[in-house]
Amino acid sequence: MLKKIDQLDLLRKIYGSVVTTPTVMSEVRFEVPDWVVVRKPANTDLEERLRMVVDRGEASAMVLALETDDSTLILDDLRARREARSLGIEVTGTLGVILKGKRDGCISAVDPLIRAIRKTNFRLSKEVEEEVLRLAGESEV
C-alpha cells in the first residue's frame, strides 16, 4: 500500500532496514529499492504449517520475523495479524506505519496520505480513519 501512495521510502526513514522474504518478493509487482534486504526464513516446517492459516507471503514473513531480533511485521490482513500476534510477533499495519512516521517527524501530516489511501482498493472504515486522524492530532473533534 505504501508504494501505491508513493510512500515506500517511509519504511526506510522509520525503520532504517527492511527485510523481506523471497516469497514476498515474488508477490510484489514493482521493483524494490536496494535498501530492502531479501532473506529466506530457516524454519520451513513452521512456514508450511502457517500456510494452512495464512497465505504464502504472510507465512514466510511471520517465520522471518520470529527469526529476526527486534522486528516489527507489517501486515494489513486481520487474520494474518491475529496469527502473528498469537506467535508473539510485534505487528503493525500501513496506518500504524503512517502514524509512526508522523510521530517520528518523517511526515508532517497523516490526512493527505489517508486521502491517497482512500483512492486505492484499501478497505478503510470511517471509524478507523477518524481514530487514526485523532491519534495523529489531526481530527476536527
Looking at the structure, do residues 16 and 62 belong to the same domain, yes or no? Answer: yes
Looking at the structure, do residues 84 and 130 belong to the same domain, yes or no? Answer: no
100-108: long-range contacts (C-beta < 8 A, 24 or more apart)?
Answer: 100/14, 101/7, 101/10, 101/13, 101/14, 102/136, 104/13, 104/14, 106/10, 106/13, 106/14, 107/7, 107/10
Looking at the structure, do residues 106 and 127 belong to the same domain, yes or no? Answer: yes
Question: Is residue 4 one of the residues assigned to a domain?
Answer: no
**What's the domain range around 127?**
96-135
Read off the pLDDT of residues 35-84 as tens digits, 9 standing for 90 and up: 999 999 999 999 999 999 999 999 999 999 999 999 999 999 999 999 99
Question: Is residue 120 one of the residues assigned to a domain?
Answer: yes
Mean pLDDT value across the chain: 95
Read off the pLDDT of residues 86-116 as tens digits, 9 standing for 90 and up: 999 999 999 999 999 999 999 999 999 999 9
Residue 16 has pLDDT above 80, yes or no: yes
Looking at the structure, do residues 25 and 68 belong to the same domain, yes or no? Answer: yes
Question: Is residue 111 one of the residues assigned to a domain?
Answer: yes
Residue 29 has pLDDT above 70, yes or no: yes
Residue 141 has pLDDT above 70, yes or no: no
Looking at the structure, do residues 70 and 33 belong to the same domain, yes or no? Answer: yes
Question: Is residue 39 one of the residues assigned to a domain?
Answer: yes
